[in-house]
Amino acid sequence: MAADDRRTGLLWPSIFSAFALVVLLGLGTWQVQRLQWKNGLIAQIEARVHAVPISLADALAAVKRGDDLEYARVKVTGTWIPGVEWHLWAPSSNGPGWHVYAPLKTNGGTVVIVNRGFVPDALRNPATRPEPSSPNEETLVGLLRMPEPKHLFTPDNDLARNVWYSRDIGAMARAMPVGAGADVAPFALDAEAGSAPPPAPQGGVTRLELPNSHLQYAVTWYGLAATLVGVYVAFVRSRLQRDREDAGSAT
């Protein structure tokens, strides 16, 4: 059989086609698995953002155990540490803007860094958005967000200019004034919408729509695999037909 394949010129095309087919089917199956994972993640997020909020103590204990609590609703009560903000670059469809992070200190002494929400670039300076000053405790509900890893093309955070490009909770904690709070939660909270009236930062900025194109990718890879089979079959038929014609003319 191998000799016949070599004689008809089908050996290497067959080997290449078999290898390519395995690769294409593998990529298609991988995308199907990714689709199942993404659908499960989307369902999990949808359930968590509508669940009853948990306490800060429960959130801290769960994260310490290594539980995944991303996007869980957490209720926290505390007072804002005055004069401390971190500004994370957050351009929007309406123009440049910022997510304003600020530390909230609880009665137990734990500091929670809260993404209070979005402000346009014109209101980045706290002096341009005077808010009612109150030393009273404030209770808010936010979505738990773990530190954001810095990606390859993410610029470095510029602490000197207070310009942040990634949610680096550890660096924010280290940038707090000495004595402001030694016990900082290892996560941030994205304040929900309606947490404060304008001109204060407006909450509800968490992106909950995850890109999910895995079905299209799977269809593409499986489609290429089917195309490859069709092309290979057509090639084999053409080559065998030519060999039969050559053999007939030789006789």
34-48 pLDDT, tens per residue? 999 999 989 999 999
Which pLDDT score is estimated for 8? 58
Of 67, 94, 98, 54, nearest to 189 by C-alpha is 54
Digit-coded pLDDT (tens) for 66-118: 999 999 999 999 999 988 999 999 988 778 999 999 999 998 889 999 999 99
Whether pLDDT at 224 is above 90: yes
In whole angstroms, what separates CA 48 from the centre of its chain?
16
pLDDT of residue 198: 78
Residue burial 214-239, b: 16+ Cβ < 10 Å; e: rest: beebbeebbebbeebeeebeeeeeee
Q: Radius of gyration (Cα) for the chain, nearest Å?
A: 29
Are 188 and 145 in contact by the 8 Å Cβ rule? The answer is yes
Tokens for 38?
A: 């993404």
What pTM does this model have? 0.78
Chain mean position to CA 189: 16
Half-sphere exposure of 222 (CA within 13 A, CB side): 11
Distance CA 162, CA 89 (A): 10
pLDDT of residue 48: 93
Where would I find the beta strands (DSSP E) of the chain? 54-55, 73-80, 86-89, 97-105, 111-120, 138-145, 163-164, 184-191
Q: What is the largest CA-CA distance in the chain?
A: 104
Q: Can you give the residue ranges of every domain in the chain?
A: 2-41+212-250, 72-191
Mean pLDDT of the chain: 88
Query: What is the helix (H) or strand (E) element at residue 123, kind and residue range?
Result: none
Q: What is the pLDDT of residues 20-30, one digit of tens each?
A: 999 999 999 99
Alpha helices in 148-213 (DSSP H): 169-174
What residue ranges in 64-136 does DSSP mark as E strands?
73-80, 86-89, 97-105, 111-120
- How far is Cα of residue 102 from the mean position of the Cα atoms in its chain? 22
Q: Provide the residue count of the chain.
A: 251
